Structure 1
Amino acid sequence: MADRRITIVGAGLAGALLATLLARRGWSVDVYEKRGDPRLKGYEGGRSINLALAERGRHALQLAGADEAVMAHAVMMRGRMVHFADGRTDLQRYGRDDSEVIWSVHRGELNITLLDIAGQAGARIHFHRGLERVDFDTDTATFLDPRDGSEHPVDFSALVGADGAGSTLRRQMAACTELGERTDFLGHSYKELEIPPAEDGAFRIEPNALHIWPRGRYMCIALPNDERTFTVTLFLPNESERPGDPSFETVRDGATARELFERDFADALALIPDLEQDFERNPAGLLATLYLDRWHLQGRAVLVGDAAHAMVPFHGQGMNCAFEDCVALADHLEHADDCGRAFAAFQAERLPDSRAIQAMALENYLEMRDRVDDDDFLLQRTLERTLAERHPDRFVPRYWMVTFSRIPYGVAFERGQVQRELLVELTRGHASLDTLDWDVVDEAVRERLSPLPADNVL
């Protein structure tokens, strides 16, 4: 490509990573960010769920030369530690052993690390520059300094919107062409709380797990941080569906939050000494899925990550998917003749996969809050692991495909639907695996699932 200049809007996780990938390939990269430099002013917390780093994300970090620096602050999570209402706990592993785990990373620490690496790669990052408007006729983007209101026009060759679910660039593109935008709100929101370290500086609960308190229509989760804290996230409906059900309509302040925890999360309450203050200080976050039919405006602009396909956080793949976007876009820009072809090819590759992971993220919310403590679900999980051992080339658990491989999300979604139907059918009427007819089980797997190509795993 003759013109190797790119302007990225947003210096968050996707923007910083994409800047590094392109700068390392010799592109001239400018990144504009409306916030101040978090390396100087600190990262603003209370607004984002801890992030789960998986294979797709780590692969992108490795390509950017950032994996070692990021993993120095990551905490391993072997599986879900389910906290039952009666006080029992049960660790449900994600994979077969400690080679198949996910990693908890703090958004602020990760962003700072990626900004450092982007700068070292040669990207120019301009802080206090929020996108105000774009003139696509003159290829001029105007940025606003929120400190004094001054405007700063910038000529661009091509724009990349990495400015999140509320993307300003997306709005500017939509004024020029129909993007097919629609947003589905979940009807639930979240609040962040914190479990501090114990008096001796250790973790208060098992550090190598994602903790879940499932309670049907609502739940709590807790992810570990490397400073021995846990980021706790309370998910509640915005409005009560039945009289007496908790919601953000009824749990309005620290006092009512304490009442909820005393009743439904008693073992967690003792771990959160600043429950009332955290609840009242931290804002409620909305949960929604953003769908677009079009991600680009010819060769002038393209959207990545949440700006193109924001999703609910319940599969832990939002960041991993965005990082995979960055790798795909960098590859298409490197090999296409012009930005128009690169952007179109990028959308054709990634849009179907984004729809698949958006659907799986919504499904996973129901599983996490409703099913992880259900006997039928636990039996299906046991059969799933057994079939993965008996038919490793055919029965690959959907969670494994999504989390521990780079199999396209669309493939994982389609095969996962077939496998889920099998698990339900095969366990119907059974209380344990002991009563299954394994000849029938094996034949059903061979009949319904074709072998997965070996080269499709990574």
Structure 2
Amino acid sequence: MRADDTPVAIVGAGLAGCLLATLLGRRGIPVTVYERRPDPRVAGAERGRSINLAISARGLAALEEVGLKDKALGRALPMHGRMVHPLGAPQNFQPYSADGERAINSISRAELNAALLDAAEAVPGVSLRFSHRLTGVDAVAGRLHMEGPEGPVTEDAGIVLAGDGAYSAARRTVEAFTAEQDFLEHGYKELTVPPRDGEFALDPDALHIWPRGTSMMIALPNLDRSFTCTLFWPKDDFDALDTPERVQAHFAEHYPDVADLIPDLAGDFALNPVGSLVTVRCWPWVRYGEGAIVALLGDAAHAIVPFFGQGANCAFEDCVEIDRCLGETGGDWARALSLYQENRKANTDAIAEMALDNFIEMRDRVNSRVYRLTRSAQHALERRLAGRYVSRYELVSFSTVPYAHIPARLRRQNQVLAGAVLAAGALLGLGVRALRRRR
């Protein structure tokens, strides 16, 4: 199957689906994007389901491919570090980069999705169809079965690219895909800290964290001077706060510096849903049928927990890789998608593990004096050994080094550093012995 004569369907008009549609459309490939929801630019975003995006180097590089980098940055707020709110101690700021200049960018998921929808819609040959819920994929016949606004719909598609999320309907209806879903015992719930007297109630230059050992809350700034707070708690803790009085008492005890910043805390807590946190590990990502090739991307192939802020950044890299592989193979879909899954699988496995580890760091380690001293030492090394010693956080967030290469690079750095320390110690010992002999 070649890219110039095969009907292409993208399932899911979220961030990844829209970016991929734009990239393919610019290649002159006709694409139809199917989305189960109504047009979010008209209907609005789902309440309490955003987890604000932290767009960093990888996502910005992908957005630059379609001319949206500057627009995204113009609607984003830079966060240069973490503001940690310990219980019973002063808050402390922990910069993300050694020079204090680099930042991750807080941006509204809904607003970025709208910009990507506009970009896709503006490309000739790209069609968007909303309120079309996928019910089945027939890879033998090359057809999609959907429930549309007026009843069942069947559409032909030789290439099906499924970016329909962690609970992907496309993945479930194609037998060749084997997926494991690992759920955290924690869920998440969103709250909003509104502006106070027209200004930010918290420092807008930081991602705020309230680490509490087995749980935490974070807050990201918005352009309207509000903050979106996300609670990451064991699900039993959410269930236990079943009255307004218990909600207020819990926040007064565990989050005293934010409890009074949310005017209708108990009401918002009761109204907003509890979401689940899941890691999806799937293989293969591509199914070759007689009538269609079906491929997964983004969360449909490799959903990760949000604690490194890399979900959207990682999904955007998938889109760029598919586009790159199409160019490399001269538009041969079968070869391109085979290359895509081979090139991306190790990277997505690596960031999934790093995201899980970063949850422990954020909810627990950031409170530790040892952790803060270690981070200060890392930053000192990064300044002294620029380009030769780079922390994990900077490699993930401020570079496009493949995720899978990061653990090995960190091991090499640490081995070299340990060797240098041992050598310095040996030289010092020789110097001390020489001085003693002279005496």
How far off is 1:421 after superposition?
8.7
Q: 2:218 aligns with which of 210, 218, 221?
A: 221
Q: 1:352 aligns with which of 346, 352, 370?
A: 346
Aligned-partner residue type, residue 313 of structure 1: P
Aligned-partner residue type, residue 218 of structure 2: I
- Which residue pairs with 1:162 in the alignment? 163
How far off is 1:171 after superposition?
1.0
| Structure 1 stretches lacking a partner, 5+ long | 240-246, 427-435, 444-458
- Which residue pairs with 1:203 in the alignment? 200
Q: Which moved more, 1:93-102 or 1:151-160?
A: 93-102
Contact kept? 1:357, 1:413, Cα under 8 Å: no
- Which residue pairs with 1:338 in the alignment? 332
Cα deviation 1:120-140 (Å, max 9, x = unaligned): 123210011111111222111
Q: 2:424 aligns with which of 439, 445, 450?
A: 439
Cα deviation 1:234-263 (Å, max 9, x = unaligned): 111124xxxxxxx22423454322221111
Runs of 4+ in 1 over 3 A off after TM superposition: 96-99, 252-255, 416-423, 440-443
Q: Which moved more, 1:216-225 or 1:273-282?
A: 273-282
The reply on whether 1:19 has 2:21 as its aligned counterpart is: yes
Question: Whole-Å Cα distance in 2 between the matches of residues 272 and 304 of structure 1?
Answer: 37
The reply on whether 1:230 has 2:227 as its aligned counterpart is: yes
Q: How does 1:249-264 map onto structure 2 within 5 Å? A: 249-264=239-254
Contact kept? 1:387, 1:395, Cα under 8 Å: yes
Question: Whole-Å Cα distance in 2 between the matches of residues 413 and 47 of structure 1?
Answer: 32
Question: Whole-Å Cα distance in 1 between the matches of residues 93 and 279 of structure 2?
Answer: 29
Contact kept? 1:87, 1:267, Cα under 8 Å: no
Aligned-partner residue type, residue 113 of structure 1: A
Summarize the Cα distance change of 1:438–1:228 in structure 2 as closer, same or farther, 3 Å threshold.
Answer: farther
Give 1 or 2 for the bigger CA radius of gyration. Answer: 2
- Which residue pairs with 2:182 in the alignment? 184
How far off is 1:71 after superposition?
1.9
Contact kept? 1:222, 1:231, Cα under 8 Å: yes
Cα deviation 1:50-103 (Å, max 9, x = unaligned): 110000000000101112222221111010000111241111011134641110
SS at match of 1:248: helix
Question: Whole-Å Cα distance in 2 between the matches of residues 382 and 114 of structure 1?
Answer: 38
Q: How does 1:352-391 map onto structure 2 within 5 Å? A: 352-391=346-385
- Which residue pairs with 2:142 in the alignment? 139
Cα deviation 1:384-439 (Å, max 9, x = unaligned): 1112123223311111010000000011133335667999x89xxxxxxxxx9993
Aligned-partner residue type, residue 439 of structure 1: A
Q: 1:126 aligns with which of 126, 129, 139?
A: 129
Question: Whole-Å Cα distance in 2 between the matches of residues 142 and 410 of structure 1?
Answer: 37
The reply on whether 1:265 has 2:263 as its aligned counterpart is: no
Contact kept? 1:160, 1:303, Cα under 8 Å: yes
RCO higher in 1 or 2 (8 Å CA, sep ≥ 6)? 2
> TM-score when scaled to structure 1?
0.87
SS at match of 2:102: coil
SS at match of 1:359: helix
> TM-score when scaled to structure 2?
0.91
Q: How does 1:301-316 map onto structure 2 within 5 Å? A: 301-316=294-309
Aligned-partner residue type, residue 38 of structure 1: P
Aligned-partner residue type, residue 341 of structure 2: Q
- Which residue pairs with 2:396 in the alignment? 402
SS at match of 1:267: coil
Question: Whole-Å Cα distance in 2 between the matches of residues 421 and 334 of structure 1?
Answer: 39
Contact kept? 2:98, 2:382, Cα under 8 Å: no
Q: 1:112 aligns with which of 111, 114, 119?
A: 114
Contact kept? 1:253, 1:279, Cα under 8 Å: no
Question: Whole-Å Cα distance in 2 between the matches of residues 421 and 94 of structure 1?
Answer: 23
Task: Quote the RMSD (CA, aligned, Å).
Answer: 2.2
Contact kept? 1:398, 1:415, Cα under 8 Å: no
Contact kept? 1:46, 1:192, Cα under 8 Å: yes
Identity %, equivalent residues: 42
Cα deviation 1:256-278 (Å, max 9, x = unaligned): 22221111100011111121111
Question: Whole-Å Cα distance in 1 between the matches of residues 238 and 42 of structure 2?
Answer: 35
- Which residue pairs with 2:97 in the alignment? 95
Contact kept? 2:98, 2:380, Cα under 8 Å: no
SS at match of 2:258: helix
SS at match of 2:322: helix
Residues paired across the two proteins, number: 420
SS at match of 2:283: coil
How far off is 1:185 after superposition?
1.0
